[in-house]
Amino acid sequence: GAVVSQHPSRVICKSGTSVKIECRSLDFQATTMFWYRQFPKQSLMLMATSNEGSKATYEQGVEKDKFLINHASLTLSTLTVTSAHPEDSSFYICSAPNWETQYFGPGTRLLVL
């Protein structure tokens, strides 16, 4: 199957700082990628759709100015959590479609102190 990577796998930062998470499709190209967030013992919640060459589409209730998404190329999307606060601590997961299937990255665990 297709491979999606994320970097970093885990990050700890201080409140008020910004954190960038990268999502790469390693062996295929993706004009669209998706960003999810997962809190402990909960299911994945879609945050936004990342579109190569155009603006991201955000789900209702997700602040676009706080969660900046850039789809820089056909294999890379980045999510920047700006001015992070402890409530932003979560597991962030990206996915990318290839043919009929979406493939997920391994996730990035963010802890904001």
Return residues touching other proteins (CB under 8 A). 1, 4, 6, 31-32, 34, 36, 43-46, 49, 91, 93, 95, 97-107, 109
DSSP 3-state of 87: helix
Task: Provide, rounded to whole angstroms, the least separation between the CB of residue 107 and other proteins.
Answer: 5
Task: Provide, rounded to whole angstroms, the least separation between the CB of residue 73 and other proteins.
Answer: 17
- How does DSSP assign 37-58, residue by residue? EE-TTS--EEEEEEETTS--EE
Q: Which two tokens stand for residue 81?
A: 């959590």
Residue closer to other proteins (CB basis): 79 or 93: 93
Task: Provide, rounded to whole angstroms, the least separation between the CB of residue 21 and other proteins.
Answer: 13
DSSP 77: E
